[in-house]
Chains A and B, each alone.
Chain A
Amino acid sequence: MSETMITTATVAAQATTHHEEHGHHHESFISKYIFSMDHKTIGKQFLITGIVWAIVGGLFSVLFRLQLGYPDKTFPILETFFGQWAKGGQIQPEFYYGLVTMHGTVLVFFVLTAGLSGTFANILIPLQIGARDMASPFLNMLSYWFFFLASVVMMSSIFVNTGPASGGWTMYPPLSALKQAGDGQKIGTDLWLVSMALFIVSSLLGGLNYISTILNMRTKGMSMTRMPLTIWAVFFTAILGVLSFPVLLSGAILLLFDRNLGTSFYLSDIVINGEVLPNEGGSAILYQHLFWFLGHPEVYIILLPAMGMVSEILSVNSRKPIFGYMAMLGSLFAIAILAFLVWAHHMFVTGLNPFLGSVFVLLTLLIAVPSAIKVFNWLTTLWRGNIRFTPGALFAIGFVSLFISGGLTGIFLGNSTIDIHLHDTMFVVAHFHIVMGVASFFGMFAGVYHWFPKMFGRYLNNTMAYIHFWVTMIGAYLIYWPMHYQGLAGVPRRYLDKSGWVNFNNFRDLDQMITIVTIVVFAAQLLFVFNFFYSIYKGRKVRSQNPWGANTLEWTTPINPGHGNWEGDIPEVHRWPYDYAKDGREFIPQTEPVGANESKH
């Protein structure tokens, strides 16, 4: 019964995500399963919506990579699909900027925020702390539906006549505040702002619930320091979101006023198309402060859940306790604090006071300390472990690799002097795609491969998973490693066509290579999507309650848990979740009482 319920719920979620594109659906079927208050179903709804968005956002990057790799070639098929946006088979400038903007917005917010922490916070919090559901299942359901509404609005902005917002995902004024500035600054930007406001509401409702569930609904014996690191990570993520998203909302509200009601919070002394605007006294930098006060914590909102899941998956699959649990916790805490104190490192070249800049340099470089602690602990967890290279474990190891590579370039960018040269170049693009984009995606994939058996009662196909991993891993480095060299040579980001610069023509072949690899990697992601949906229905069935031999509570539930998670009483917890390879036993579940002769950690 519960299995059919889960599959139908998934179908419903699929149907809804298709709904926004096709506009027809079967009312009775959807209304039955759609408004679920079960945290597991809501998690799956987040995941599947996130997957749809990831395909859209990824496809956008393939399209603008075509332009970057082959600026003078024509692709008639593009005109067939996109009409005026790709006149003569060439991506038009407005389309290009729309693609870049939507790619950033969709992946940062809709995929890596909602799709990542929305999915795993929902699925894992009650299961791993031993609760029947969230503190408020109703708010939790609202959180998904606000996200869905935000998705509908954002998706619709792609189909309006003047195109989607195209001022860059950071939506800096004055460009984003003036409708005269271009097609993308017309209705598309308003829809972007409305969609983001809905998204912020969704993310706040979700975050409130996660915090209050973790602090109030733990089962007997589950003290804070007996929680798996996944839960600690989503806990800090939720705190970051709850404190920083409202500030973005204030920034967005002021921008909406400037755009539509004639205020000048961000506008001053502007001449556009020969017309002198009346706006006076505004400050565009003010927006940047408000934006990056969210924007920087947002990076950690994306990264922390991935870090938590990687810690858990590495420990389970190297059959060893996590190395330095308290150090992991402390470094999560340090990162969460520092996340709020470094926002101005995005603004070194805005005319920021150099003294203030040096304070932000110091605080930014301080983040290297907790990050290095985490890396050290992941490596020492793997060290001399009895590693099982499951797809989840591979992606977790890949995460560590990417986090190191991408983290090191952060040290370059965190220095305000070097940033003068590197700001707004491809170096920045390479840095944040590796450390935040691809690394978090690896954490997400690791999580999906690891917890898919719990979500759907079936396994993903391993062969497809290994192909997916190796293509993505090698591809990610092939795409982003060369971009560092481009950036060091001064190649700017976001430019439509760089062929006018003689210096940059050296990179023509490199750009083509990157574009080809992007297409291959995108295809590998489609393979994953196929594997995901195929395995929901046809995957190998899970036969044992605890397939990975893990200690945490979710593996004490039935293979296909119903609403309420445990049949009978919620289990009591007697130990931390990382008793692997202890006293000659491979693993000791958290529910097992501490024996009289047991050694202490």
Chain B
Amino acid sequence: MHPHKFTLWVAMGSLIMMFAGLTSAFIVKSNQVGWKSVTLPSVFWLSTVAIVLSSGTVYLALRSFREREMARYRLWMGVTLVLGILFVAFQWNGFMALWAQQITFRGSGAGQFLYVIFGLHALHVIGGVVVLSVLLAKAFFGRIKIYSSIPVEIAATYWHFVDLLWIYLLLFFLLIGGN
């Protein structure tokens, strides 16, 4: 395996530990008195659709890159990028909807954990969006001398990772946070 790809896998292990720490803190707290649960605003379903779709499009982008179909590659990368930005925007809307229900930073229930956990996840998606933008800019303006698919593969793997991480967090909040 290419060393950079391997590094990414180790980094993903590290990120998993961070979210495992936060979600286990959530579980510990949820068994204590004064815990307030939270109902997820429906906009989070839209963001789920966006990010799941984007996992598909980034896969198509990678396949196009491997087949040297640069036009198709640019198209799918662009779509992925838009979906990524949409995801972050939906998350923001979700936060706003919660805030409107008087679930603010005050207190220590599921709502406050949601802001921290979903917020950190969104930051990681934004990091992915930055990477995608760089790759896309290179695809439009860069002069490609070597067709190495490694950078695209790394970006795609990371993108699938934040997608799966989101699914985990969503299920976590539906199954454990909702009661």
Contact = CB atoms under 8 A, between A and B. Distances in A.
B39 interface: no
30 contacts: A135-B4, A135-B6, A204-B11, A208-B14, A211-B7, A216-B1, A216-B3, A216-B6, A242-B13, A245-B14, A246-B18, A250-B18, A250-B22, A253-B116, A254-B22, A257-B105, A262-B104, A262-B105, A263-B108, A268-B34, A280-B34, A280-B107, A281-B32, A281-B36, A281-B107, A281-B109, A283-B28, A283-B29, A283-B32, A293-B21
Contact of A250 (B21, B105, B107): B21
A473 interface: no
Given A263-B107, A263-B112, A265-B108, A247 B18 contact: yes
Chain B interface size, under 10 / 10 to 19 / 20 to 34 / 35 or more: 20 to 34
Interface string B115-150: 010001000000000000000000000000000000
A344 interface: no
A242 B10 CA distance: 8
Interface in A266-285: 267-268, 278-283
Contacts, number: 114
Interface of A: 135-136, 139, 204, 207-209, 211-213, 215-217, 242-247, 249-251, 253-254, 257, 261-265, 267-268, 278-283, 286, 289-290, 293
A101 B21 CA distance: 25
A289 B113 CA distance: 17
Contact of A265 (B3, B15, B29, B35): B29
Nearest to B11: A208
A573 B120 CA distance: 45
Given A135-B7, A283-B29, A254 B116 contact: yes
Contacts of A246: 14-15, 17-18, 21
Interface string B2-44: 0110110011011101111110010011001111100000000
Nearest to A258: B108
Nearest to A134: B3
B15 to A, nearest CB: 7
A325 B76 CA distance: 52
A282 B108 contact: yes
7 tightest A-B CB contacts, nearest first: A246-B18, A281-B34, A135-B3, A247-B21, A264-B108, A250-B21, A212-B7
Contact of A290 (B3, B25, B106): B25
Nearest to A261: B105
Nearest to B25: A286
A204 B14 contact: yes
Contact of B25 (A135, A216, A250): A250
B35 A263 contact: no
Contacts of B113: 265
A281 B33 contact: yes
Contacts of B108: 263-265, 267-268, 279-282
Given A242-B11, A281-B108, A283-B29, 15 more contacts: A135-B4, A208-B11, A211-B10, A215-B6, A243-B17, A247-B21, A249-B18, A250-B21, A254-B116, A257-B112, A264-B107, A265-B29, A267-B108, A281-B36, A286-B28
Interface of B: 1, 3-4, 6-7, 10-11, 13-15, 17-22, 25, 28-29, 32-36, 104-109, 112-113, 116, 120
Nearest to A213: B3
A268 B109 CA distance: 12
A125 to B, nearest CB: 12
A244 B18 CA distance: 8
B14 A243 contact: yes
A139 B3 CA distance: 12
A301 B15 CA distance: 19
B9 to A, nearest CB: 9
Contact of A136 (B7, B22, B35, B106): B7
Contacts of B17: 242-244, 246-247
Contacts of A257: 105, 112, 116
A278 B20 CA distance: 29
B4 A136 contact: yes
Nearest to B18: A246
A250 B116 CA distance: 9
Contact of A208 (B7, B18, B120): B7
Contacts of A261: 105
Contacts of B20: 247
Contacts of A289: 25, 28
B10 A208 contact: yes
A245 B120 CA distance: 16
A136 B32 CA distance: 45
Nearest to B9: A212
B23 to A, nearest CB: 9
B158 to A, nearest CB: 13
B3 A136 contact: yes
A324 to B, nearest CB: 29
Contacts of A280: 34, 107-108
Contact of B29 (A215, A245, A286): A286
Q: Find the residue from A216, A263, A278 having the highest chain B CB count within 10 A.
A: A263
B100 to A, nearest CB: 18
B11 to A, nearest CB: 5
Nearest to B2: A216
Nearest to A205: B11
Contacts of B116: 253-254, 257, 263
A340 to B, nearest CB: 10
B105 A263 contact: yes
A290 B29 CA distance: 12
Contacts of A282: 108
Nearest to B33: A281
Contacts of A283: 28-29, 32
Contacts of B6: 135, 211-212, 215-216
